[in-house]
Every structure is written in C-alpha cells, then in structure tokens.
A and B are shown apart, each in its own frame.
Chain A
Amino acid sequence: MKSPAPSKTKKLIKEALGNGALRSAVFKATESSALSRQKIIDQIPYWEDLRDKAHLIKKDVIENLSKYLTQFERNCELNGIAVHWASDSAEAQKIILDIAKQNNVTKVVKSKSLTTEEIHLNDFLKANDIESLETDLGEYIVQLNDQIPSHLIIPAMHLSRKDIGELFAKKLGVEYTEDPAQLLLTARKILREKFLAAEMGITGVNFAFAANGSFCVVENEANAHNTLSLPPIHIAVMGLEKIIPDVSMLPYFLKLLPANATGQKSSTYVNFIGGPTGSAYGEGPEQIHIILLDNGRTKILKDPVLRESLYCIRCGACLNACPVYQQIGGHAYGWVYMGPIGSVLIPQFLGEKEGRLSPFLSSLCGACTTVCPTKINLPHHLLTLRSRIVDSGNSKFIERNAIKIWSKLGSNAKVYRLMSRIASFFQSKLFFNSPLRVPGYNKERQFPLIHSEGFRARFLKMNGDKKNG
C-alpha cells in the first residue's frame, strides 16, 4: 500500500467492497460528516458568497503564482525563516535529511500533512535511521498499521474501534480496549514523551501568507502546536499552491475549511508561525525552514482549465459527498489523494498511464463540486482528463473501436434503427425474449428489454391513427 498504485484500483476496489467492516465504517463516517457540515452551513447565510470569494482568491493566486511565491520568500527571509525550493520528492527528502544531519537529529515528530505523504517522508527518514512519528491520532493509528491515510481529514476512517483496539494491543502491548477515550489516552501518553524529546518537528501548511512571510497550521488535537513549538527545529512542507496573498484574507477560509472538513464553526487551534524564537522568552524553535514543493504542480499549471485543481484546500468534503468514496473508502484509489479530487489529481501527478482508470472511477454525479469550498468543477475536470487519457492512447482497444463504430453508425438514422432491430432479433431468438445478458452490467441488475417496436414506430403509428381516425 506504500507505492502509488492507481492503476491497480480495480483490485483495490474488490478488496474494499469485500470488507464489510470497512464499508460500514466509511459509510457511517462520511454520512455523519456530511450532516454536521450541513448543520454549520445552515447558520452561515453568506456561505455561497464565501465560496465565490475563495474561488477568486485562489484564482488570483494560481494565475500569479510566481509573484506571490517570490514575495513570500522575501518576507519569510526577513522574518528569519529559511526558504527551500524542491522540484520533486527526492529534492524535498534531501533538503530535510540534510537539515536533520547538520543538527544531529534522530527523533522527529510530525503532524498531519498530506504533502509529506506525497513525498513518502516517513519511509524515507526511517530508511535513514531517523525516527519519524506521526502525532495526529488518526495518522498515528495508520502509521502503526503500516498504512497511509484513507481520508484527507480522518486518516483512519477505514478502521473500526475494534480494529484500533486490536492494533494497539498488538503493537503497543497494552490491554485490549475499544473505548476511544482509553485508546486516545494510550497514544497521548506515548506521544507526550516524544514531543518533549524530539529534536525536529515537521508539519504541513494550511495557508501561507505572501504579504507578511508567515503561515498557519489548522488543527484540533494540539499535536500540531506541540510539533511546531517544542522541538528546536521546525520544518514546514507546503505545496506551491498553498499560498494566499495576505493573512487578512484568512477569515474567509477559516469559515469554509472547518465547516467542510469537520463540521465545526472553527477548528480548535489555528497556529500562526512568523519566525523563530518569537516569544518574549526565547520559546519556539530556533530554526524554521519552509519547503516549497513543486512535485508536478507546475505541470498541472500548464492547462488553463485544469489548473483549477490547484485551488484545493484539502478539506475532504468532496470525499464525504461522493457516493463512490462512500462505498469504497480511500485506499481503493491507490494514492495519497483520493475521492473526487484524488481522481482529478492522480493522472495529472502520476501521468495518463498510471492514472488511466482514475477519472473513470466516478459516476459524474457532481455532488463533489456542490460542496467544494473553492468551487472546483471536479466533474468537468474528470471529463477533460478522460479525453486526455483516450487521446494519449491509454484506453482499451475494444472500447475505442466500439465507440468509433457507434459514432459512425449513429450518425445515420437508418443504420441506427437497423442496429436496434438486430439487437431485438437477438433478444428474441437467442434469449427467448428475456432480457439480454450484458457482461459487465447484469450480474446484479437485469438488463431492460429491447422493444421490437421502438418509440419512432409507435409514434408514427399513433400519428397515423390520429390522421386516419
């Protein structure tokens, strides 16, 4: 489950659908998230305006990215924050390792960051003999379970309390319990020690502010604050798109994000970081580094329409709203980004070949785009990507030819009707007028009967009757 495998999505889906516990856990969690989201939104009469506003802010940022990034860089440096640029995972990994080595770091605590999942940071640090521990409860659980998160916001959504109880008993040697409060207590105790002993804290970034060279991390558990305030070194990893022009624009996002992510009016903590040892008592890390990660984002930028996928603030609402995600959970998508936004990002990040199935894993119902806080037109992008995949020769040979033939024949009404008559003939002769068996469709669903007399024939008859009568 570690390396990207969106091309194996069919196999992963089969596994997921066969796992009843997973399905019911995911279904319940997504439903309750969607409900609590709605409750908050009902109290914000200007919700739709907020979405419009957030869309415009992100648009401005993405269309003027180099301006904002260089401004951010300059202001960070004035604040004493070291800025690093990384073109891909390998570069980001190397930057982090170098900082760790220079400072003899062996123990790292991390707070939830999808960007660091994207660069497989935990595995990399482990391979370099550096302990890297996730501290968000959900992330801690999936790390213990040797998995990656299955949801952008609720990493262990796919696990039941029973699964987690067994996992803790097995891996941590504690007594089995399935009481969430007890399980939390176990993790809290272990992690409290780790926070105090860690030599480096690694976090993601929710929003970075170009105009004053600072950034913020939003959370509920206080683990992110501990990660960025207790160890002497703080590294924050951010995708290039995480920037917004100014901190004063944050209130829009701080309404949208918590409502969509966790059904809260406000997240419990918003931490603003604007330089090392900021407090009166020299508290806080002595070094703060920020890594601006490309890793394919500038490639996405190339398409004037698809670049909208960079407006994503990773709120997870499109996952909760997605009836496909609700059935299969996050791991079935085969990558760190899942659900509708995952299906849009996968072929763009990993290429049309590896991602050839992802944009098709959607019924195009559009529920995602109605909840997206930055109004990303996800189904539209899925359609665009589908055609890209076809154009790049990554669709199936049979399908390609079937559709070509359909399109040719369908342009001619006579032939079109003839086809239907042939099908109806088959149905009557081979299936004795019972529904056709259509492989790939009718395992659980009866295929409808083809009428030997279609609409056209009936209409003409009806009209004839009228005229004659």
Chain B
Amino acid sequence: MKVSLFIPCLTEHFFPSSGISMVKIFRHLGIDAEYIEDQTCCGQPAFNSGYRHEAVPLAEKFIRLFREKEYIIAPSGSCVSFVKNNYKELNISDELKPALKNISDRIFEFTEFLVDVMKIENLGGEFNHTVTYHDSCHLLRELNIHDQPRKLIRAIKNINFIEMNSADTCCGFGGTFSYKFENVSVAMTEQKCKNIEASGAEYCVGADSSCLMNIEGFLRKHKMNAKTIHIADLLAESLKL
C-alpha cells in the first residue's frame, strides 16, 4: 500500500517532527509513504479570510499534484477538511473539476486513516504519562473524528488517559481570527489551557498542528506545566521509533 503525504504549512515549517513521526509509523506498518516535493499551501488561510480568488491557484496546484493519488494523508484535520469540503466552493478551472471528487474521497486525516481505513486501533507501544485529548473543531465537526484518536491513545500501554472538561470546545485559534481578534482568541485559549491543567494531564494530545501551536504557545508563555503533543509524535514515541 502506498500513501501520499500532504504536509500542511505549519507542519512543514514549525512542526516537521510530527510529519516525520507519521512517516515512521507508516514505515513501521509497512506502508509506503511518498512525498510530493512540489506541494505548498492548500489555500485555507486565504479562503477563510475571504480571499477566494487568491485561494484558487493554490487549490489548483494541489489538485494537479494529488489528483491521481490513491490515499492522501495529512497530520492535520483542518487542512483535510478544507480540501475535502471547501474546494468545491472555489471557482477552479473546469478541467480540474472532475478530479475534485476523487480527491475528496481519498483524502484522510492521519488517525482517521489508521482506524477507519487501515482498521488499526492498537499500535502497541508504551507511554508512562497522563494525557488528555483536545478535539480540534474541524476534525470533530467537519470530519466526524472523535473516537479514532481516542482509540489509538487508549490502546497504548501504561498510558493514563483522562477526558478534560469541554474537550470539544474550540481552543481559540481559528486561523486569522487569532490575530484579527487577538484578545478574544487568547481568552478562549486561556479557558482551554485551564481545562487542560484542571484535568491533571501532563500532555494534551491533538491531531491538528494549528491548535497545538496555539495551546503550546499559551502554556509556555504562562509557564504552565502541561505540554502538547501531536498524536503522531505520541504514537512514534510510544513505539520508540
């Protein structure tokens, strides 16, 4: 089996290790992971800020690169959801339109792919810490991903998984929202971090780099104890890959 990696901007520049962890896990499972070097941004920031025309060339580029791929996998739910659900809102060239369906049927978030497509819930591995899980909005509400990451986490040996309060409440990032309305965004992040802390978890696991970046940024600035960890990193670490 072969999968094609879709590495969103934040993973590429800020959290390359999550992408690498994902690759390691695929290798561990005997899945061939290819990386198309020409890929860039999927266009979500432009689209979500209201710049639909500006999102078009990026989307077209993405479609051209990925149109033939059997599985497109990303370690970030929000970008997956954007490609899957919102490319059809864009005025892309007619020539590329037929490829859209193929892409939206074949693009998966990492945990969704493991659990729903590969039917893998237990990767083995061991992690001796207390963790909680933050439901990223687009994973949860647009891709319906709720149980998949939890199954993978719970299967890890010695891990102590606890649900925090309001795990499904937004962390406050929201892309450009985080700087357009910085103070509101921060107030939301603060609430999220309080909930993480109150849960007693050492790690907040997530499956979307943007939320993790946001939460981690607040935790560090305010010298709180908890850390964030991407689920791919968690799995790779438990497997000592």
Contact = CB atoms under 8 A, between A and B. Distances in A.
B238 interface: no
A387 B57 CA distance: 16
Nearest to A322: B170
Given A450-B14, A456-B35, A399 B141 contact: no
Contact of A438 (B15, B16, B43, B179): B179
Contact of A323 (B41, B45, B46, B172): B172
Contact of A411 (B57, B218, B220): B57
B104 to A, nearest CB: 16
Interface in A321-380: 323-324, 326-328, 359-367, 369-370
A360 B177 contact: yes
A443 to B, nearest CB: 6
Interface stretch (B92-100, B153-161, B185-193, B199-207): B185-193
A86 B89 CA distance: 36
A327 B187 contact: yes
Contacts of A453: 16
B167 interface: no
A404 interface: yes
A258 to B, nearest CB: 24
Interface in B1-22: 5, 7, 11-16, 19-20
A363 B13 contact: no
Interface string B84-122: 001001000000000000000000000000000000000
A441 B182 contact: yes
B38 to A, nearest CB: 4
B65 to A, nearest CB: 9
A28 to B, nearest CB: 13
A72 B157 CA distance: 66
B149 to A, nearest CB: 17
A365 B221 contact: no
A367 B170 contact: yes
Nearest to B165: A31
Interface residues of B, number: 68
Contact of A445 (B5, B47, B184, B189): B189
B37 A413 contact: yes
B179 A420 contact: no
B233 interface: no
Given A455-B19, A456-B37, A407 B14 contact: no
A407 B51 contact: yes
B137 interface: yes
B189 A13 contact: no
B13 A420 contact: yes
B218 A323 contact: no
A323 B169 contact: yes
A404 B54 contact: yes
7 contacts: A328-B184, A363-B170, A363-B174, A413-B37, A444-B221, A454-B16, A456-B12
Given A363-B170, A441-B182, A458-B16, 10 more contacts: A17-B183, A328-B187, A360-B181, A361-B184, A363-B173, A363-B177, A365-B169, A399-B49, A444-B190, A459-B23
Interface of B: 5, 7, 11-16, 19-20, 23, 35, 37-41, 43, 45-52, 54-55, 57-58, 61, 86, 89, 137-138, 141-142, 168-170, 172-191, 213-214, 216-218, 220-222
Interface of A: 10, 13-14, 17, 23, 323-324, 326-328, 359-367, 369-370, 383, 386-391, 395, 399-400, 403-404, 406-408, 410-413, 416, 420, 423-424, 438, 440-451, 453-460, 462
Q: Which 3 A-B pairs have the closest CB atoms?
A: A363-B174, A386-B50, A445-B217
